[in-house]
Amino acid sequence: MRDIAYQDIVDIVRGLCQTANYRMGADIAKAIDAALSREVSPLGREALEILQKNAEIAVRDRIPLCQDTGLALYFVELGEEVRVTGGRLEDAINEGTRRGYAEGFLRNSVVLDPLRRNPGPDNTPAIVHLSLVPGDRLKIEYKVVSAGCENMSRMQMLKPSDGIDGVKNFILTAVREAGPSACPPFTVGVGIGGDFEMAPLLAKKALRRHVGERHPDPFYGAMETDLIEKINKMGIGPVGLGGRTTAFDLFVEAAPCHIASLPVAVNLACHSSRHKEAVL
Q: How far apart (Å, rounded) are the C-alpha atoms in residues 10 and 214?
A: 33
Give CA angle at 208 (4, 217), nearest 5°: 115
Could you read off the pLDDT of 223-260 as tens digits, one per residue? Answer: 999 999 999 999 999 999 999 999 999 999 999 999 99
Residue 98 has what pLDDT?
98
Burial bucket for residue 248 (CB in 10 Å: 0-12, 13-18, 19+):
buried
Taken in order 234, 155, 187, 119, is the CA torsion positive or negative? positive
Helices 89-103 and 6-22, packing angle to 10 deg: 40
CA torsion, ordered 21, 27, 29, 34, to nearest 10 deg: -150
Q: What digits encode the pLDDT tens for the residues 92-148?
A: 999 999 999 999 999 999 999 999 999 999 999 999 999 999 999 999 999 999 999
Q: What confidence score (pLDDT) does residue 153 get? A: 95
Amino acid at 222: A
Please, are residues 223 and 194 in contact by the beta-carbon 8 Å criterion?
no
| Per-residue pLDDT band at 156 (split at 50, 70, 90) | very high
Residue 49 CB-density burial (10 A; 0-12 exposed, 13-18 middle, 19+ buried): middle
Residue ranges of domains in the chain, CATH in brackets? 2-20+65-145 (no CATH), 148-273 (3.30.1330)
Across the strands, what pairs with 27?
none
